[in-house]
Amino acid sequence: MNIVQQKIQTFRITDRIIDLILLFVSARLAIIAERVLHSKSWHALDPQSFHFSALLIIFTIWIILIHLLESDLIYRRTPIWNIIKTTAIISFIGVTTTITLDFLLKTDLFKRSTIGFFGLISFLLLLLKRGGMKYFLSSIREEGFDPKNILIIGSHKRAERIIHEFGEHREYGLRIRSILDPDTSRIGQAVDGMVVTGDMSNFRETLKDLEIDEVFFAIDLTMIEDIHNIFNYLDNIGVNYHMMINESVHTYSDKNLNIQPISSNYYGMPMLSFHSVTASHFKLYIKNGIEKAFAVLLIIFSFPILLLFGLLVYFTSKGPIFFKQERVGLHGRKFYQYKLRSMIVDAEELKEKYTHLNEQSGPVFKIKNDPRLTKIGKIMRKYSIDELPQLFNILLGSMTLIGPRPLPVSEVKEFNEDFLHRRHSMKPGVTGLWQVTGRNNIKDFNKWVKLDLEYIDNWSFMMDFRIAVKTVSTVLSGTGM
């Protein structure tokens, strides 16, 4: 399943989960309305008013009806009147079917007034949600939801078809950033409203400059020179790529590629996909959701510590409380990472002065007992308190709780091997495998990267859980992160 299908599937599953939550809320409000109507205490729960088994029946009936009547629903393109009509039909059939089942089973799952209130309230909530989604998806049409940057190779019929389909699903965040074609005469030509921006000589620069997430080859591979090195480069830097299937693709993949391709069908177009990251989009979506919720809890519980050390930074050294630095994230995206300031104000300017003290190999600069640290900064570094503001980076979506550590832009520019960029194929994290595997004892940058790639290649929820537990131990031990 390619990235487009995964994003659409993730969106639909989330959409159904929200519907189930609204049905549950509707049932609770219906019980309250029924009890108020009969002058009873509104907060109590009475099985005679609404039995728990009725909720399971309602969930089943409503989800089946939504699946049958809204299977082709596209919020942005469906007229609001059609949405109102369909939602009303779902509520009406759902209520009448539930009442019929209750009668046939000869049970007392609910009072008729309760199910009446439920039908009205569920109709209103489901309609408000659908209207809100229509407005939201229309308003973010250009930016999209959780945007992914797409590069198209080719500019003829196959490319035109896939570009058209991406255009129909812009609200899912599928942004075509560039179209390249090996034929230089095609540069400047329009393809379904977009322009061919260059040939394959611009390939590597386009990937880096436009922060490309996915590459789609909509062209015969025999037309691309040095295709083997291009695929190797994509494998090394961790960018997924997909090819519209023809015989040359099968032959080439069998002979030259190590990654196992996945065959899929997208809107009638057969496609062969190569995923350098084994984790599915849906699992990473769940990971990000869990970590954002956890980040909120950590912010709440750690706020007194954050406030205390923020004040200590303010009163004990000149300069701002927070320090921000531009770092490199997912597929080369630039973002500002936030920390409590642990160094003197001109620390960055003094970096050259202390280069000879650097304890790390490669492009990374790290000193265990950095002379630029303030007194409070040493304490914060020891217990990783300066890292707390990065919880806001998680909420902003630029980082996750667990993942490869993001590096400054200046250090990434010094990468001299393509494979080093593969550590950017997953979102960076506040903590990770490197931090809990003897961070301060690992001096070789290549070993650091090896741990990052081990995490990317073997990622699982259980691995994240183990790293989280070890992180707590590392922080409490005062060895720093």
Whichever domain contains 227, its CATH number is 3.40.50.720
- Asked which of 60-69, 109-118, 303-312, 400-409 is least confident by mean pLDDT, the reply is 109-118
Looking at residue 250, its pLDDT comes to: 46
Identify the CA nearest to 226 among candidates 204, 197, 259.
204
Residue 95 one-letter amino acid: V
Same domain membership, residue 375 and residue 285: yes
E-state strands within 68-171: 148-153
Percent of the chain at pLDDT > 90 equals 40
pTM for the full model? 0.74
Question: pLDDT confidence of 270, banded at 50, 70, 90?
Answer: low
109 plus 40 within the same structural domain: yes
Per-residue confidence (pLDDT) for residue 427, from 0 to 100:
93
User: 376 and 434 in one domain?
Assistant: yes
Report helix angle 461-477 to 281-316, nearest 10. 20
Residues 6+ apart with CB under 8 A from 463: 433, 455
Question: Does residue 267 surpass a pLDDT of 70?
Answer: no
Same-domain pairing of 120 and 162: no
- Which residue has tokens 């082709």? 72
Q: Which of 456, 451, 404 is nearest to 432 (CA)?
A: 404
* Cα separation, 153 vs 159, whole angstroms: 8
**235 and 321 in a common domain:** no
pLDDT bracket for residue 247 (50, 70, 90): very low
Based on the fold, state whether residues 249 and 287 are members of the same structural domain.
no
Q: Is the pLDDT of residue 258 over 60?
A: no
End position of a domain, from candidates 274, 291, 322: 274
144 has pLDDT over 70: no
Closest to 23 in 3D by CA, of 70, 74, 69, 57: 57
Mean pLDDT, rounded, for 47-70: 84
Q: Please report the DSSP string for 361-390 in residue order.
A: STT----TT-TTB-HHHHHHHHTTGGGTTH
pLDDT given for residue 336 in this prediction: 95
Q: Is the pLDDT of residue 145 over 70?
A: no
Q: How far apart are CA 175 and CA 147, in angstroms?
A: 7
176 with 254, same domain: the answer is yes
Mean pLDDT of 16-25: 93
**Which tokens in the block code for residue 462?**
């259980």
**Same-domain check for residues 240 and 122:** no
pLDDT at 417: 85
CB 422 within 8 A of CB 451: no
pLDDT over 70 percentage in the chain? 88
Q: What is the mean pLDDT of residues 84-88?
A: 93
291 and 409 in a single domain? The answer is yes
Averaged pLDDT, 469-478: 84
Q: Rounded mean pLDDT of the chain?
A: 85
Same domain, 270 and 290: no
The three-point CA angle 49-52-54 to 5° equals 80
- Please, which residues have CB within 8 angstroms of residue 63's CB and are 6 or more apart in sequence? 16, 19, 20
3-state helix, strand, coil in the chain (%, to 5): 55, 15, 30
Note whether 184 and 267 are same-domain residues. yes
3-state secondary structure of 396: helix
Of residues 282 and 432, the one with the higher pLDDT is: 432
**Is the pLDDT higher at 455 or at 102?**
455
Which range of residues forms the domain containing residue 403? 281-477
In this predicted structure, what is the pLDDT of residue 385? 93
User: Of 109, 139, 169, which marks where a domain is finished?
Assistant: 139
Strand partners, 325: 337
Domain end among 274, 295, 325: 274
Residues 75, 157 within the same domain: no
Number of domains in the chain: 3
Is residue 191 over pLDDT 60? yes
Give the pair of three-digit tokens for residue 122.
């569920």
**124 or 365, which is more confident:** 124
